[in-house]
Chain A
Amino acid sequence: MSALLEVQGLTVRFGGLCALNDLSLRAQPGEILGLIGPNGAGKTTFINAVTGAVKATGSVNFNGRSISGLQSFKIARLGLARTYQIVQPFPEMSALDNVAAGALFSGAAPSLAKAREQAEAVLEQVGLGREAHSFAEELTLAQRKRLEVAKGLASNPRMLLLDEVNAGLNAAEIDEALQLIRSIAAAGVAILLVEHLMRVVSGLCHRVIVLHHGRMIADGQPARVLADEAVIEAYLGRRYAERMTVAVGG
């Protein structure tokens, strides 16, 4: 089976710093892929490189065609949507129009009126139905994070790259977000999740990739990866590992 996203030898350099070193990975439709690692490991750089926001060497194939070197807006139109770690709403527009922008610019909706119609449904889906006419700058952080997801979702993507959509949310909000992500994946959308919360990673991801200093140090099922010596050393820390062992043992 050919993969939806196929990355081969992706490398990004910022001057002397190698932010991403020879990374290769594949993602299948409907798969939830976790991307974890310490700060500065290259997680966001990976998203930027795949979506054309930073220059990279190596090859990226999406849905059977090469998207290496393609401009961001063209990549987005092919069905590869992303969210930003630091939310990027259009502050002076309503939540509805923010989402409509996603539907309109991606080509998912032929007209502004149609885009607003579709946006309404997407806002319902992410639980922002009641906030449709609030200005984006008036939303809470949790709502803005969901708005980011909604903007991406409105473009009717084949794959969503979610950059820390759960950071800064409380436990109840995270539960809602998890349900949302699961339902999106269930509809056949591939998801790449950059995440720091192990609860989310272990409960949600089918597969986890660990980055450290721009290199992939582990790739596999969450339980196995989170028990990996190298991962513990580089990212999770001894005490976390001990706690996990006790929990699993008990």
Chain B
Amino acid sequence: MSERWMVGFATTAAIGAALGLLYWAGAYELRLGTILAMYIALATGWNLIGGMAGYPSFATAAFFGLGAYAGTLTQVKGVPMVLAWTFAAVVAATVALAIGWIVLRLRGHYFAIASFAVVIVLREVATNWTGLTGGGMGVSLPMLQSSMLAQARLFFAAQAVLAALAVAISLFVAYSKLGFALGCIRQNESAAGMLGLDARRAKTAAFCISSAITGAAGAIYASSIFYIDPSDVFDILLSVKPIIMAMLGGAGTVAGPILGATLFMILEQTVWANFLSVHSAILGALVVVIAMFVPRGLFGRRLRRRLA
């Protein structure tokens, strides 16, 4: 019962904070809130395949970029914004279905490298398919005819709704048959198969859901900055950061990625803003420290035990 109480409290606090930001905050705070919401969506999305199923995907940047391009190109053609975001999620899920069916045959390091390759391939496609994507020149979206603050509010609300949706999906999956199956896959995939589990189907489902969330986040991001190019939306840091966040908080749990994303955001804003030149070195050091000392994340073991 106390767990349910905590979840209720956290939900209320999050909604309160979001509404507070919408009404009282300025454009700068709203932009920080937008980044945080996006991080939560990305970390939660990654966690479905990377945490729950234990498949360390580096493909987040691929589906983020794919979603960004799908959303932008349809908006350029005149499709309304929200519809374009939805379309981006569908495109990401569809491509994930095709790619996942193949790369999810691989395990561990092999899967990680294959998923990383997906980012590079899609980035190359976006760079070279000039007729569709504008190539390295990127694509611009028409500016919105509203005030800066109104825009900041709109995109914050969009990423926040996506983050809430992602968490709701994650919570639903965690307690469903699919989540149970993913846990078994993470712990012993061949034994799960021998009990009759179609592991490939479960993994692919998780990969598709994860990619849909990531694609939508990319599309909203693209709308919010009005201009995208391949090096920005297929940035490999977009793959690495969600992994760090989820692992920092506790991969495989519902709350872990949320807490991890928040903590990461605080780190990024305070420490890193002051050490811009060694920014990547600190990121690398953080990965090593997490892997060595808290492989289950700061909140991981406790949360997982409670959920089990």
Task: Give me the interface of A with B, judged by CB distance under 8 Å.
Answer: 51, 53, 71-73, 76-77, 81-82, 84, 88-94, 97, 100-102, 104-107, 111-112, 135, 151-152, 155
Contacts and interface: CB of A to CB of B under 8 A. Distances in A.
B55 to A, nearest CB: 16
Contacts of A92: 183, 187, 304, 308
Contacts of A82: 194
A76 B177 CA distance: 18
A109 B275 CA distance: 56
B241 to A, nearest CB: 26
B193 A101 contact: no
Contact of B191 (A84, A94, A107, A155): A84
Contacts of B198: 73
Contact of B193 (A72, A100, A152): A72
A112 B174 CA distance: 12
| Range class of the B interface residue count | 20 to 34
Contacts of A112: 176-177, 180
Interface string B173-215: 0001100110110011011111111110000000000000000
A88 to B, nearest CB: 4
Contacts of B187: 90-93
A123 to B, nearest CB: 16
A53 B183 contact: no
Contacts of A93: 183-184, 187, 308
A94 B193 CA distance: 19
A72 B197 CA distance: 9
Q: Which of B188, B191, B197, B199 has the most CB of A within 10 A?
A: B191
A104 B192 contact: no
Interface of B: 176-177, 180-181, 183-184, 187-188, 190-199, 304, 308
Given A104-B177, A104-B180, A53 B195 contact: no
Contacts of B194: 51, 53, 72-73, 76, 81-82, 84, 88
Contacts of B184: 90, 93, 101, 105
A100 to B, nearest CB: 8
A89 B188 contact: yes
- Dominant secondary structure of chain A at its interface with chain B: mixed
A111 B193 contact: no
A106 B199 CA distance: 12
A88 B193 CA distance: 12
Contacts of A151: 195
Contacts of B308: 92-94, 97, 135
Contact of A105 (B181, B188, B190): B181
Contacts of A101: 180, 184, 192, 195, 197
B191 A106 contact: no
A77 B196 contact: yes
20 contacts: A51-B194, A73-B193, A73-B196, A76-B194, A76-B195, A81-B194, A88-B190, A88-B194, A89-B188, A90-B183, A92-B304, A93-B183, A93-B187, A93-B308, A100-B180, A104-B181, A105-B181, A105-B192, A111-B177, A151-B195
Contact of B196 (A53, A76, A94): A76
A67 to B, nearest CB: 13
Contact of B197 (A73, A84, A97, A111): A73
Contacts of A84: 191, 194
A52 B203 CA distance: 20
